[in-house]
Amino acid sequence: MSFEEALNAASRDDAFKATIYAMNTLLIAKGVYTREEFETLFVEWVSKEQRRTRATDPTRDPMPCSA
């Protein structure tokens, strides 16, 4: 499959995922960063986003009760 064929076959979301996959694979293979460094930064970003989402979610109950 050529790049053009793959691009045409992929949804917008899948094309974005493929781009991230290709970029990270190249950066790790070229030694720009390690898999461990990538995983650390990935976890850091997700953690920050979860905190931000919880802080700005008006539907979230700040005092949930356990039943």
* Contact present, 60 and 54 (Cβ < 8 Å): yes
44-65 pLDDT tens trace: 999 999 999 888 876 766 666 6
- What does the domain layout of the chain look like in residue ranges? 3-55
Residue 63 has what pLDDT?
Answer: 63
**How many helices (H) and strands (E) are present in the chain, helices listed first?**
3, 0
CA distance 62 to 52: 14
9-45 pLDDT tens trace: 999 999 999 999 999 999 999 999 999 999 999 999 9
CA distance 60 to 62: 6
* Contact present, 35 and 28 (Cβ < 8 Å): yes
